[in-house]
Amino acid sequence: MNLIIKRCPTCGSDQIKKVCRDWTGNYKGQSYVVPDLTFYECPVCEERVFEREALSKIQAHSPAFAKRQRRVKKIKAAQTAVAPRAIPHA
Ligand SMILES: [Zn+2]
């Protein structure tokens, strides 16, 4: 589901266009990079519009969400490590 943006929601310019490049975000003074992010950018007022896909990609890279992700990874790793020992005399 892609929305098509033809006009900048901020200044109304029709110069807004879809771009794909590395995005540098900032969370509480900590900058992070989202590689190959697709979003709309207005060259007139520098407004940026993100689709849902882009937003979830940003969230995946943002330190704001990093804690939860790390915990998920740890649980997965633990399960993998425990599994072979669960089989007796394997
Ligand atoms: Zn604009």
Ligand 1 center from residue 69 Cα (angstroms): 34
Q: Compute the residue count for the chain.
A: 90
pLDDT at res. 4:
85
Ligand 1 center from residue 45 Cα (angstroms): 4
Dihedral of CA atoms 80, 85, 89, 90 in degrees, nearest 10, equals: 0
Ligand 1 center from residue 37 Cα (angstroms): 19
- Is the pLDDT reported for residue 24 higher than 90? yes
Structural domains in the chain plus CATH codes? 17-86 (3.10.20)
pLDDT at res. 12:
97
Most distant pair of Cα atoms in the chain: their distance: 70
Q: Which residues contact 86 (CB under 8 A, 6 or more apart)?
A: none
- Is the pLDDT reported for residue 52 higher than 70? yes
Ligand 1 center from residue 49 Cα (angstroms): 10
Nearest to 58 by CA among 34, 35, 40, 27: 34
Nearest to 57 by CA among 18, 6, 22, 14: 22
Ligand 1 center from residue 64 Cα (angstroms): 27
- Is the pLDDT reported for residue 18 higher than 90? yes
Ligand 1 center from residue 48 Cα (angstroms): 8
Model confidence, pTM: 0.65
Comparing 86 with 38, the larger pLDDT belongs to 38
- Is the pLDDT reported for residue 77 higher than 90? no
Ligand 1 center from residue 7 Cα (angstroms): 8
The encoded tokens of residue 8 equal: 């900048």
Q: How far apart are CA 25 and CA 40, in angstroms?
A: 15
